[in-house]
Amino acid sequence: MEAKVYKVAIGTESFSSTVDFAVENPDIGSTVTSGWRNSSLHVATIGGNKVFIENILQYSDVFTTNSKGETALHIAARLGHVEVATCLIEHVESLPRQEEDPDWLTMVNQEGNTALHEAVRYGHFAMVELLIRKRPLLASSTNGDGESPLFMAVDRKFYRIARHILEKFPNCSDSGRNGMNVMHAAVIRLHYISFRFYSLVQSKFP
């Protein structure tokens, strides 16, 4: 990826017109960095450059992944860029669905993490709200270590997120790593959590 493209994508350098910029850089949607193989869309997502993203989506493939198997949504979720994630999701929802297309919202990276796993891992409550609203079944997924979003939330002491998952999708997975489940995590973290929250978890997973 040329330095000029990278700087404009990540937002450290402006350009008068993204349309003109795209004309001058016809491969803007497919060009990648040499390291993590990030596309322009990935780079713009890292920078939270929503305006740039809105203007290059027509040239980009949102299903493209980098060398870590991440879509732009994984990055937005990890960094907590809710506006960028909303922009990406709305774009995907506007596309005609092909039978062979994967479910973009449930795509996993090399660690087996969905975007929801990434949002939970870094404690981004607003992102968790968005993703569960758009695809509640994400709360049933487990990653490569066998961890569900609920387990990750309790294990990391993000109890507001855990409560939200339980309230919005009571049938979520309670699976955790190494054969554990969310009750194991709750007991381990018991001295940090309120009795009310522990009772809520216990009522869902007796």
Break the chain into its structural domains and give their ranges: 1-110, 124-205
Please tell me the predicted confidence (pLDDT) of residue 186. Answer: 76
- Residue that is written with structure tokens 């450059």 in the block: 49
Domains 1-110 and 124-205 share a fold: yes
Which parts of the chain are beta strand (E)?
none
The correct CATH number of 124-205 out of 1.25.40, 3.40.720, 3.30.390, 4.10.860 is 1.25.40
Give the model confidence (pLDDT) of 67-83 as tens digits.
999 999 999 999 999 99
Which pLDDT does position 117 carry in this prediction?
Answer: 98
Mean per-residue pLDDT for 7-24? 61
Name the band, by pLDDT with cuts 50, 70 and 90, for residue 168.
Answer: very high
Of 16-20, 41-45, 114-118, 167-171, the poorest mean pLDDT is in 16-20
CATH no., domain 1-110: 1.25.40.20
How far apart, in whole angstroms, are the C-alpha atoms of residue 3 and residue 40? Answer: 11
Least confident window among 27-41, 106-120, 135-149: 27-41
Q: Is the pLDDT of residue 18 over 60?
A: no
Question: What residues have CB less than 8 Å from 152, skipping those under 6 apart?
Answer: 117, 120, 121, 158
pLDDT digits (tens, 9 = 90+) for 28-56: 656 666 677 888 899 999 999 998 898 88
